[in-house]
């Protein structure tokens, strides 16, 4: 599929980054994710999975110090 026809969005926090940011798009009931520096690599998840990922990130579940302790 040509991902160019999808309307990609990125966080306003990404405007001052070094050019690398996560972009999201809605497509056929799913959510597409890609990094701006590798636009041809696209992951597709359902909205519930993305909500769980964001909630886990906010709770620090993926922080290195958190996973190293096993808690």
35-63 pLDDT, tens digit each: 888 889 999 999 999 999 999 999 999 88
Here the tokens at position 64 are 């290195």
Q: What is the DSSP string of 13-68?
A: GGGGSSS--EEEEEETTEEEEEETTEEEEEEEE-HHHHHHHHHHHHTTTT-HHHHH
First to last CA, the chain: 40
- Percent of the chain exceeding pLDDT 90 equals 46
State phi, psi for 40 to the nearest 5 degrees.
-85, -10
The β-bridge relationship of strands 30-35 and 22-27 is: antiparallel
Q: Is the pLDDT of residue 3 over 60?
A: no
Q: Is the pLDDT of residue 14 over 70?
A: yes
Q: Which pTM does this prediction carry? A: 0.69
Q: Is the pLDDT of residue 67 over 60?
A: no
């Amino acid at each position: 599929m040509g991902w160019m026809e999808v309307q990609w969005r990125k966080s306003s926090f990404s405007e001052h980054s070094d050019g690398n940011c996560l972009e999201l798009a809605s497509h056929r009931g799913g959510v597409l994710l890609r990094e701006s520096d590798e636009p041809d690599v696209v992951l597709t998840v359902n909205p519930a999975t993305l909500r769980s990922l964001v909630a886990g990130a906010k709770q620090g579940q993926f922080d290195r110090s958190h996973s190293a302790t096993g808690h």
